[in-house]
Amino acid sequence: MRSLGIRNEEFAQLLPSFDAAWGEHRATYHRAVESRKRAVGGGHQGQVHRLEDKLLFILVSFKVYPLQEVQGMLFGMGQSQAGEWIHRLTDVRQATLQRDLLLPARDAATRESVLAACESHSFVIDGTERPTQRSSDDAVQRAHDSGKKNAHA
């Protein structure tokens, strides 16, 4: 676990909360459907069987952020199944961290909340100039023309 930046003890401490969050997820994910042909748990079994493997899978996904094809290769599955597991376990990971109060104190969803929390900091926007699609309408094209004639490599 050292390569993930988490000690074995910390991993073991996350497991009970992850187990509870996984149980809540399964209760909502596997709701009763009248047209269901198989019982819950029937059908093809995924490659991530144990709870420890599920937690390791999602921690690797967020820490290393590999391509889904690489993530699947590491855990013995295809790219599409890796993508499905990442999608399912992201909510479980979020619920686990929320349960253990390990989420950041601020909500970075809005620019105002970030600026209010960081009043003593200054921010600089680092942007690059990119070519844009030119309109075929001459009036629209002239309105958006910067005056530059050559593209720079």
Q: Supply 122's token pair.
A: 């200054």
pLDDT in tens, 14-54: 899 999 999 988 888 766 556 667 776 666 666 788 899 99
Which domain range does residue 26 map to?
A: 2-33+44-99
Q: How many domains does the chain have?
A: 1
3-state secondary structure (DSSP) of residue 38: coil
pLDDT value for 37: 73
148, part of any domain: no
Percent of the chain having pLDDT more than 90? Answer: 22
CA–CA distance, 12 with 18 (Å, rounded to integer)? 10
Q: Residue 112 domain-assigned?
A: no
Count, residues in the chain = 153
Comparing C-alpha atoms, which of 104, 103, 152 is closest to residue 128? 152
Asked if pLDDT for residue 152 goes beyond 60, the answer is: no
Q: In whole angstroms, how large is the CA radius of gyration of the chain?
A: 23
User: Is 88 domain-assigned?
Assistant: yes
pLDDT, tens only, 69-96? 999 999 988 899 999 999 989 999 988 8
Model pTM score: 0.60
Q: Tens digit of pLDDT for each residue in 113-125?
A: 777 777 777 777 7
Give a yes or no: residue 28 inside a domain: yes
